[in-house]
Structure 1
Amino acid sequence: MKKLMMLGFLTCPLLAHAYVLPICESDTFSQTIKQKYDSIDCGSHHGLFITENAKNLLGAIDNKGKIIIDNEYEQIDVQDNYPYFYIQKNNLWGVADNKGKILIPPIYTQIQPYHENTGVFVVEKHGKWGIVNQHNQIVQDFNYSRIDAFSDGLASACKNNQCGYLDKNGNTVINFIYQDAYHFNKNYDLALVKNNTSYQFINKQNKAILSFNHKDNIIPDQNIINGFITVNFYDKKSNNEYFGLYNTHGKIILSPIYEYIYYDKEKLPIIVKKDGKYGLYNKNGKKLLDEKYTFIDSYNCGVAQIIQTIGGQEQIGYIDIHGKFVIDFNQKPQLIKTSDALAYLKINSKDKSCQEITSEPMIEIFND
């Protein structure tokens, strides 16, 4: 049985979480249509359903069973944000739309996920990368050792061991002067680059906003989450890694002295671990709780569990987002577990509940 691939935001070519193609048991299709295929994916992707025939080849039909994409492909990747289907034939990749039109014939080794309605695809052929439009016309020749997916209107690219940035027309926007270059963050218009002396976050005018000298052994993460840049410091003496946080203006929020940093939603505090003990800071780097606790859990409904150990015995309390105790260590809260795994705290006969938690950017950093 083949695998249907789902594409999210990626900077690497056609790699994603894979889902085994199921046999659809729903009433969406008649028995006559079902008998034509070994399996049908029950989930609709831009109005199409992926099918697999007796030869283990994939295609797609609409909700009436009409063939939209013929069953002649070894693999089909789906990009949910856009109505494109990445098709593989003879181990080469192309692109079809949800009308069954072949936009890009399967002649490329790799194709980067489509982003931002640029109207172009980043493709690899014979070990070199280039850019083609939706009619497979060359926008940028195959002269590059690497071109990443477009992000914030630009694509990081490398050739002749130097990296820079291209726009959707293939024009060089930032010259190829860096040892390495990463994607632009569309929320902050910043990208991480590496040169001979430092890592830098640059803007689209190629101005360095934040710089980390290589001799300081501090390596920043390329991703910016909730306005924070995570940095990694390697201590050669102890052979340990430590973590810190900067904001996008270059201000140090937390120095890189922590074994563990966890931050979730924008308004929630930052949980840290230092010398094996947990503490709490706000998003401006102000200390809310000293690093003296056995554990501080992530926040749920604006409340986090906190544990201290006294005389070998663990005591449990609960704190709010300001680090204030809503349930002290000597209180015994009543916990009510719900079917959706949210915990509701009952304090002084008054229920404190929360709304459904939505998915938001989250990062957890630690060393072993």
Structure 2
Amino acid sequence: MIKLFIKIFLVSFLFYSCNKVDSKNQPRTYIRIMGENSWGFNDEKGNSIIPLGKYKFLNPIDEKGMILAELGNKHGYIDINQKIIVPFEYDDIDLFNHELASVKKNGKYGFVNRKGKIVIPIQFDNNSDFTNSGLALVEKNNKFGFINQTGKEIISINYQNANEATFDSLITLNKKGKWAFFDYKGKQKTDFIYDEIFVTDISLKGENGSTFWRNGLILVRKNNQTAYLDKNLKEVIPFGKYDSGERFNQNRIAIVSKNHKYGIINEFGKEIVKPEYDTLEHPEEDYHESEIFEGKNKNYITLLDKSGNKIYDKIKDYRFDFSRLGKKIHRVYIIQNFKKQYGVVDAQGQIIIPFMYDVIQDFNGTANTVVELKGKSGIISSDNQILYPIDNDAIMTGKDLDYYIISKNDKAGIIGKNLKTILNFDYQDLSPCFYDNKNFFIAKQNNKYGVINRLGRIVIPFEYSEMSNWVEYGPGSNYHFVSKNNKNGLITKEGKTVIPVIYDSLFYIDNNKIILSKNGKYGVVNINNKSIIPLEYEKIYTDLAFAAKKEVDEFYVLKNGKYFIINNKNKIIKENISKEEVEKKFSYLN
């Protein structure tokens, strides 16, 4: 497939950048600035060098003192003094690569040099640039080929498709549905025999790019068979030896399969893991693919490290974690065996926590964690020393919390990660407030709820039979829904009453509206308790506005036994709604 080139302007989340440019041998620093739909440059003292309001976009100054710029709807290059180097006559222009920049004009592409001269005529159908091979992949009239930096066709533009790798001197071309290898001089290296030739994305010396062979071997396929070639295009692993194979990774090993079993080979064709697994893959870790391997056979899992060495076998389940072992933080795995016991092993497969616990919580890079055993909770260290007795009803903590909430014998208190007391066991229940989980807590005393701070000072008195912490899609995290004497209301996190605790029910519907009821009548108020729809309806239904900025402006209501639709100004917009229609539409609320 033809490579797509993307111009990177380095704009995301950056509103300015600094460049140093020599002027009469005196280095000066320039700061790129962004205004409303325009860009400019200031000097280090804040003086305007290129004022805002003229250029729609300015790239950072490159190593030759040139600035890619957009003026109106045209692109070119200027210097810091606004001298035009590449004229503003192009629909698009790329960064310089190998001292040439791709330009677009009237739907076609060509190349200019740093003096603004067109050195390769504007004639191609694709945007391209020059790779380490010294060639650029170009397209014309749905045919592909390669040119050098003078525009000479090294490989004629006469092929159905083409591909290249940024780190290699090899290129591939397709003719009549088959692929062949060529070198950067245009010499054909193989016949057109391959159905597929694979390129792999890798990182070399901190630079991201692609390769056919630098990660190990080249994966090729023909006639539904897989083989691997070395950089000289010799078969190291012949066609048919394996049923399938994957590309070599940066550790120079690859997954292969034989007779529906999966294993791992190295770049010399040696099986470092015999094909013995029903599946073998890289598991997901923190939203990316891990380097380790996960092998599965029937009901158990085997973990293999990035080199294919076995970490641990006969696993029911596991998860990734980090733990402080001594003075360093190490990769560890929290593993469950088939006796449903949890333990912890390090990256070398050494057991650091024996398989004896019912639950082990994550270390999250610390030296301690919470465990459960026979229905009781405690705290242990990474070398399995008991730091807090395993005789508590529950222990709650979190990755970003510096404390443990401990419940025991219907009492709750808080200790720090240093195991020193923060709040005594004077409460029936404690939970961190969503709006500040380090300093404020919903607490229960004498069967009533209130809010206290980390020092135990009462922020909201203990007077409510119920108190919400956070309601998903609710009116924001700075509020509490509360109940008192079987009535409901809304208060702020400071305890100020927003909606008096006098209503039979409260139901939040969007960022600014709450349906409430009293004495069998329903209405709607806003977050400031201003009436939107009066308390005069026997029932009110509406679709929930789960989108943060979406507001509900239509309500199904029942009054005097009849259903109709009103807007948020209490005006009827549709009458004669059947009971069946309403019940079907809002069946999820029942």
With normalisation by structure 2, the TM-score equals: 0.45
* 35-44 vs 304-313, which moves further: 304-313
1:322-367: per-residue Cα shift (whole Å, max 9, x none)?
Answer: 1113455768858459xxxxxxxx967xxxxxxxxxxxxxxxxxxx
Question: Is it true that 1:135 corresponds to 2:150 in the alignment?
Answer: yes
Give the Å deviation of 1:77: 3.4
1:100 and 1:336, CA in 2 relative to 1: closer, same or farther beyond 3 A? farther
Instruction: State which of 43, 51, 63 in structure 1 corresponds to 2:69.
Output: 51
Counterpart for residue 12 of structure 1: 3
Instruction: State which of 289, 292, 308 in structure 1 corresponds to 2:312.
Output: 289
1:298 and 1:231, CA in 2 relative to 1: closer, same or farther beyond 3 A? farther
Counterpart for residue 141 of structure 2: 126
Contact 2:169 2:183 in 1 (8 A): yes
1:179 and 1:308, CA in 2 relative to 1: closer, same or farther beyond 3 A? closer
1:229 and 1:271, CA in 2 relative to 1: closer, same or farther beyond 3 A? closer
Match of 1:14, SS state, is: coil
Give the Å deviation of 1:98: 4.3
Separation in 2, partners of 1:261, 1:105 = 46
1:305 and 1:13, CA in 2 relative to 1: closer, same or farther beyond 3 A? same
Instruction: State which of 233, 239, 257 in structure 1 corresponds to 2:278.
Output: 257
Partner letter of residue 235 of structure 2? A
Match of 1:246, SS state, is: strand
**What is the CA RMSD across the aligned residues, in angstroms?**
4.1
1:135 and 1:289, CA in 2 relative to 1: closer, same or farther beyond 3 A? same
Contact 2:138 2:146 in 1 (8 A): yes
Contact 2:315 2:338 in 1 (8 A): no
Separation in 1, partners of 2:174, 2:2 = 14
Contact 1:130 1:142 in 2 (8 A): yes
Partner letter of residue 281 of structure 1? L
Contact 1:129 1:142 in 2 (8 A): yes
1:52 and 1:172, CA in 2 relative to 1: closer, same or farther beyond 3 A? same
Question: Is it true that 1:245 corresponds to 2:253 in the alignment?
Answer: no
Give the Å deviation of 1:129: 1.1
Instruction: State which of 224, 246, 250 in structure 2 corresponds to 1:221.
Output: 246
Instruction: State which of 171, 175, 181 in structure 1 corresponds to 2:187.
Output: 171
Identity of aligned residues (%): 22
Give the Å deviation of 1:209: 0.9
1:72-120: per-residue Cα shift (whole Å, max 9, x none)?
Answer: 333333377x44432222222223344534332331112544221x333
Partner letter of residue 279 of structure 2? Y
Larger Rg: 2
Counterpart for residue 76 of structure 1: 93
Contact 1:127 1:145 in 2 (8 A): yes
Instruction: State which of 84, 98, 103 in structure 2 corresponds to 1:87.
Output: 103
Counterpart for residue 323 of structure 1: 349
Counterpart for residue 41 of structure 1: 59
Question: Is it true that 1:271 corresponds to 2:293 in the alignment?
Answer: yes
Give the Å deviation of 1:126: 0.7
Separation in 2, partners of 1:270, 1:48 = 44
- Gaps in structure 1 of 5+ consecutive residues: 1-9, 236-241, 338-345, 349-368
Separation in 2, partners of 1:49, 1:177 = 46
Contact 1:185 1:224 in 2 (8 A): no
Match of 1:110, SS state, is: coil
- Gaps in structure 2 of 5+ consecutive residues: 17-31, 34-40, 200-210, 368-380, 384-590
The residue correspondences of 1:198-237 to structure 2 (distance < 5 A) are 198-213=225-240, 217-218=243-244, 220-231=245-256
Separation in 1, partners of 2:74, 2:341 = 58
With normalisation by structure 1, the TM-score equals: 0.68
1:262 and 1:114, CA in 2 relative to 1: closer, same or farther beyond 3 A? farther
Separation in 2, partners of 1:328, 1:85 = 61
* 147-156 vs 19-28, which moves further: 19-28
Higher relative contact order (CA closer than 8 Å, sequence separation 6+): 1
Contact 2:229 2:236 in 1 (8 A): yes
1:208 and 1:311, CA in 2 relative to 1: closer, same or farther beyond 3 A? closer
Instruction: State which of 149, 152, 177 in structure 2 corresponds to 1:161.
Output: 177
Counterpart for residue 66 of structure 1: 83
